[in-house]
């Protein structure tokens, strides 16, 4: 069986190499690219990212990828900042228009006694609804997070996590998924999510 061709969008994030290695370990044919033709031809598309929304969207605009990503029809997974960029708007950097692939706004995580922001470290996941990409992540699974902004729970939320409130940890609308945590740093949980996205989702 041919390996799934995964277009790993070159968004300039420092986690790209780690995401690519994680995909290699599960047997995916992952190609780092900013070429619209390669993105459109792939079986799966993954948008990684770390840092701020403004810089992330600026890199996508400069690479001519905003409309390309908006038009992608195959399964698309945003990771960390990549997930946040799937939404309409981010309050970061004074307000940033994002890709608008999922409705909603990314907001700052409020500070609370005994809880630091950014939310950094391992935290547990709780299912809101079933999904093939998260079928192998039962309640209580721990994943690794690093973020100061988050997506409130919406009708697209699949998994949640708690940190000074309840936040979307995995979202899905149609053929578009997002994971707020870092699968490439989340050991078996991250490998399982990537495996199910690459192998189990029907285009």
The CATH label, of 3.40.50.1110, 3.30.930.10, 3.30.390.30, 3.40.50.880, for the domain at 5-200 is: 3.40.50.880
Beta-carbon count within 10 A of 77 CB: 27
Pick the catalytic residue: 71, 73, 80, 162? 80
pTM attached to this predicted model? 0.94
Distance separating alpha carbons of residues 147 and 151, to the nearest angstrom: 11
Domain boundaries in the chain? 5-200
Per-residue 3-state assignment (H helix, E strand, C coil) for 111-163: CECCECCCEEEEEECEECCCCHHHCCCCCCCEEEEEECEECECCCCEEEEEEC
Contact status, residue 11 vs residue 82, Cβ threshold 8 Å: yes
| Tens of pLDDT, residues 12-28 | 665 677 888 889 888 88
Pick the catalytic residue: 62, 147, 182, 200? 182
Distance (Å) of CA 102 to CA 39, 41, 141: 20, 23, 25
pLDDT of residue 112: 85
Q: Is 162 a catalytic residue?
A: no
Q: Is 184 a catalytic residue?
A: yes
Per-residue pLDDT of the chain (203 residues; tens, 9 = 90+): 457 789 999 876 656 778 888 898 888 889 999 999 999 999 999 999 888 999 999 999 999 999 999 999 999 999 999 999 999 999 998 999 999 999 999 999 998 888 888 889 999 999 999 999 999 999 999 999 999 999 999 999 999 999 999 999 999 999 999 999 999 999 999 999 999 999 876 65
Q: What's the start-to-end Cα distance of the chain, in Å?
A: 16
Q: Is 97 a catalytic residue?
A: no
Distance separating alpha carbons of residues 131 and 170, to the nearest angstrom: 10
Pick the catalytic residue: 67, 92, 184, 200? 184
* Placement of tokens 């997002």 in the chain: 178
pLDDT of residue 137: 96
């Amino acid at each position: 069986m041919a390996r799934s061709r995964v277009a790993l969008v070159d968004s300039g994030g420092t986690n790209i190499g780690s995401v690519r290695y994680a995909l290699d370990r599960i047997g995916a044919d992952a190609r780092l690219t900013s070429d619209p033709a390669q993105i459109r031809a792939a079986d799966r598309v993954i948008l990684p990212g770390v840092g701020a929304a403004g810089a992330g969207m600026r890199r996508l605009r400069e690479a001519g990828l905003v409309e390309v990503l908006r038009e992608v029809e195959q399964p698309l997974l945003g990771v960390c900042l990549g997930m946040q960029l799937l939404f309409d708007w981010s309050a970061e950097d004074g307000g940033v228009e994002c890709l608008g692939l999922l409705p909603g706004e990314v907001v700052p995580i409020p500070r609370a006694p005994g809880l630091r922001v950014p939310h950094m470290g391992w935290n547990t996941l709780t299912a809101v609804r079933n999904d093939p990409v998260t079928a192998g992540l039962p309640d209580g699974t721990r994943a690794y997070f690093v973020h100061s902004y988050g997506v409130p729970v919406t009708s697209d939320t699949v998994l949640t996590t708690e940190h000074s409130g309840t936040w979307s940890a995995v979202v899905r609308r149609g053929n578009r998924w997002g994971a707020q945590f870092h699968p490439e740093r989340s050991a078996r949980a991250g490998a399982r999510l990537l495996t199910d996205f690459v192998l189990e989702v029907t285009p």
